[in-house]
Structure 1
C-alpha cells in the first residue's frame, strides 16, 4: 500500500455515497488530486473538518484503485474568518477555482501551491486591498502556467516603442504599427501598463506601500479577466460572482 504524506489545501468538497465525502486537494508534493474521506458526513466524524474548503492541513493519504483515501489529518490553518466576509470569501473562492479548473491532476506545481497559500494568508491579514492581491495572484498564476504576458516589447514584431495596445490573442502588448493586425487589440494607458509591469516583477514584495488608483485597478481587472478566459478557454463563474459582489 502506497502512502503519501503532504501538506494540502482543500479546493472543493463533494458528497459521495451515503456517509463519505470526496475532496479535491492541492497538495504540496503531488499537485491536485482527489481523496475520499470515509464517514466524513457523520456529525461526530474526525474527518469532517478535513473536508472543509479552504482548510489547510497535513494529510496522510493512501492510494486506492481510483482515488486516494484520507488516513490521517492534522489542521494547520483554517480560513474561517472568510465566512463572515462575503467579499473576501468570494476572492478566496475564485483563487481556488482557478487552480481547480486549470491544473491537471497530479501535475507538479510547488510554485502554484505556495502562491495560493501565501495569497490566502495575505488576504486574511487585510493589510493589502483584495483587488490588488487578486491582480498579483492571477499574474503569477498565468506566468507559472506558461502564459506570462509580454509587457516590454511588441508581441507581434518585437518593437519596444509605442506599446499602447494589448492583445489577449497575442499574449501581451502590441505597438501602434501592429495593432491593426490584431483583431482584439485595445488601448491600454501608460500608467496601467507600468503598474502591470511592477506587479508582475515584484509580486507581493513591498505591496503594502504601493498605492494604485481605482481606475487603474479596474482596467487591469478587466484585462486579467479576459486574459484567463482566452488562454485557459474556460468560464470562471466565481469571477463573475465576485464582480457582482464588488459592485453591490
Structure 2
C-alpha cells in the first residue's frame, strides 16, 4: 500500500454506511479524485480539514488506484461561504462545473487555480457574484477545449473590421453584422460584453474576476456564459437550479 501526499480542494462529501464518507477532490494539478474517508463521522476521528470547501494537504493510502484518507492538514478553508446561502450555493455550482470538466486521468491545473481564485473572490465579497460566475463559466469552458472563437468572422473567415460583433452560442464563433443577418442565430454583442468576454478568456487566473460590468452588458455577459456552458457540455446542473432558487 503506497502513501500519497497532495494538496486538493474538497468539492463534495457524501456519507456512506454508518460512519464513512466519500470525498470528491480537485487536486492542485487539476485532477478529480474520489477518496474514502473511513470513520469520518465517528467521534474523535472527525477532521475539520477534510470537509467541503477545504483546501488541504492530504495524506492518502493508495491501492489498486483506490484512495483512502489517512490524515488532512488545512491550508485554507472557505467555511465562511456557508454564512451566506447565495454565495455558498454559487460555490457549489462552480465546484460541480469544475468537477464536470475534470477527471482522474488528465491534469487541468488552470481549472484548479480558477476555482480557488473564484472562491477567494466570493469569500472576500468585493466582486459581483454574477460576474464571478460568468467569468468562471467562460474561462473554464475555454480551458476544457470549448473556447469561443472571437478572432474573426466564423462565417466568411474575414477579420471583423468594425463593430458590431455578433456571437452564436451554438457555433461558438463571432460574426460580422452582415454575415450574422444572413445566417441567423447570432446575437449582437454590446461593446462591454465583448471586452468582458475577452478579459475572462485571456487574463491571468488571479485577475480573471478583476473587472466590473453593469446594465445590459452585464446581463448579456452572464446570460450568454451560462447558455454557452450548458450547451457545449450538453447538460444542466442541479446546483445551478439551487443557486437560482436562493439568489436575490
Q: TM-score, normalised by structure 1?
A: 0.88
The CA RMSD over aligned residues, in Å, is: 2.2
Measured at CA, do residues 141 and 71 of structure 1 come closer, stay the same or move farther in structure 2, by a change above 3 Å?
A: same
Partners of 1:61 and 1:182 in 2: CA distance: 54
The equivalent of 2:197 in structure 1 is 196
Cα-to-partner distance string for 1:46-78 (whole Å, 9 max, x where unaligned): 34x244211110001121336210112111111
Q: Which residue of 2 aligns with 1:103?
A: 102
Distance 2:17 2:65 in 1: 15
1:43 is aligned to: 43
- Asked if 2 retains the 8 angstrom alpha-carbon contact of 1:166 and 1:188, the reply is yes
**Structure 2 residue matching 1:235: 3-state secondary structure:** coil
Matched residue pairs, number?
Answer: 245
Compared CA separation, residues 207 and 119, structure 1 to 2 (3 A)? closer
Comparing both chains, which one has the higher relative contact order based on Cα–Cα distances under 8 Å and sequence gaps of 6 or more? 2
Where structure 1 has 5 or more consecutive residues not aligned to the other structure, the ranges are none
For residues 153-203 of structure 1, what are the alpha-carbon distances to aligned partners after superposition, in whole Å with 9 as ceiling and x for unaligned?
122332222553211221132223432565632332233223322332335
| 8 A Cα contact 1:156 1:170, kept in partner | no
Over 3 Å counting, the alpha-carbon distance change for 1:110 and 1:87 in structure 2 is same
Structure 1's consecutive aligned runs of 4 or more residues displaced over 4 angstroms after TM superposition are 180-183
Match of 1:69 in 2: 68
Alpha-carbon distance in structure 2 between the residues aligned to 1:15 and 1:181? 54
Mapped contact 2:131–2:222 kept (Cα < 8 A): no
Note the alpha carbon deviations across 1:67-108, whole angstroms, 9 max, x for none: 210112111111111111011112211110101222222321
> Using a 3 Å threshold, how does the CA distance of structure 1 residues 199 and 112 change in structure 2: closer, same or farther?
closer
Contact 1:15 1:21 in 2 (8 A): yes
Q: Deviations over 1:7-46 (max 9, x none)?
A: 0011111122221101111012461000000100213323
**Could you say what secondary structure the match of 2:122 adopts?**
helix
Find the aligned partners of 1:121 and 1:84 in 2 and give their Cα distance.
14
Residue 4 of structure 1 and its aligned partner are, at CA, apart by 1.8
State the alpha-carbon separation in 2 of the partners of residues 179 and 55 from structure 1: 46
Confirm or deny: 8 A CA contact 1:154 1:163 kept in the other structure: no
Matched, 1:25 2:22: no
- Choose from 202, 207, 216 the match for 1:205: 207
Distance (Å, rounded) in 2 between the aligned partners of 1:9 and 1:71: 16
CA distance in structure 2 between the aligned counterparts of 1:218 and 1:30, rounded to whole angstroms = 30
Task: Specify the alignment match of 2:145 in structure 1.
Answer: 146
Residues 167 and 182 in structure 1, CA contact (< 8 A), matched pair in contact too:
no
